[in-house]
Amino acid sequence: MDRTDTVMPAALAPTALYRRADLSTIRFETTADIGAEEGIIGQERAVEAVRFGSRINKPGFNLFVIGAPEARMRATVQAMLNRQAAAEDPPSDWVYINNFAEPHRPVAIALPAGRAPHFRDAMRELIEDLKVALPVAFESEDYQTLRGSIDDSFQKKQADAFAELGARAQGRGLVLIRTPMRFALAPAREGKVVSPEEFNAWDDTKKREVQETTRELEKELERVVRLLPSWEKERRNEVRRLDRDIAARAVSQSIDETRAGFRDLPAVLKHLDAVQADLVDNVATFIGRAGGEEVFAVDPALGGPFARYEVNVLVTCEDAACGAPIIEELHPTLGNSTSLWSATIAAKWLVSSARPMW
């Protein structure tokens, strides 16, 4: 029977049974002082894959991360993506604004991140300022003087026309009278209206002369009366022009102050031009009535007469340093991923949780 030599292990010295750690390199007293370590210890390839995937800036590329619950992979990946997202540019803000030409088709405009709330607040402040400034402008002495001049001119034109017609009628034995319903011509003696009984007592020749003269001057009276609506329209047009001029001067200063905060945004400046034009056209909204016209009717369901100037913020980054968004899809089917990327603007990463992989 062959014998095999048995090699016995060598004896170890006590100093070889342990490794001494150099505690001078440790910069904490207890582990409670240590911050969370990014990544997964022993999973360098997985960590690098997450980093690589988060840098792909193209639609349709997603991060699909699965792992054992006790591995805390979700929290680890979330922390990595948060760090990466903070270094990325945030997406644009989006707002809806009124389309004054076609109110049923509002306009969506993109703004730099964080600017949408500023735009909304600036428009609200503008309208609140104009609610005070416009009534004051239309109550000023200058406006009242100019408005009175327009009304006096219309009244004088009307009075002169009837005075001239009245003088012609009086020179031909008639008098121009005004009833509650209309103007009329009547026979007169010494400037006083002749009663029907006295007129019937006149001879036929004189009555025929008066009737012919009446018919002739009634044509002139009808012509003057037909001119009254056109004169009234001319008066209203002059009042409107005056109102627009006063409103334009009152609005321009407030609008210019609002523009100052958005000089770098052409879309906002274009909208403010449209707002200024609409404010001038609808100044009656602010002063109750203008040019003798009623305020235009507004459907209460639409939010009141000033809702047309509101800015509707759809998407905003309240903090301009918020970085890029991270979207987490807990049910990562093909349909969910596709629709999510189609509907989400500037979203770069899709993080999912499922069964273990690594």
pLDDT tens figures, 224-275: 777 778 888 888 888 888 888 888 888 888 999 999 999 999 999 999 999 9
Number of other residues whose CB lies within 10 A of the CB of residue 30: 6
Percent of the chain with pLDDT over 70: 73
Q: Which residues 6+ apart lie within 8 Å of 287 measured at CB? A: 134, 135, 138
**Token pair listed for 62:** 């997603």
pTM: 0.61
CA angle, residues 83, 89, 91, in degrees to nearest 5: 115
Query: What integer best gives the mean pLDDT of the chain?
Result: 76
Maximum distance among all alpha carbons in the chain?
A: 179
Mean pLDDT to the nearest integer, 337-353:
40
pLDDT tens figures, 101-136: 898 899 999 999 889 999 999 999 999 998 888 888
- Domain regions of the chain by residue span: 42-88+325-358
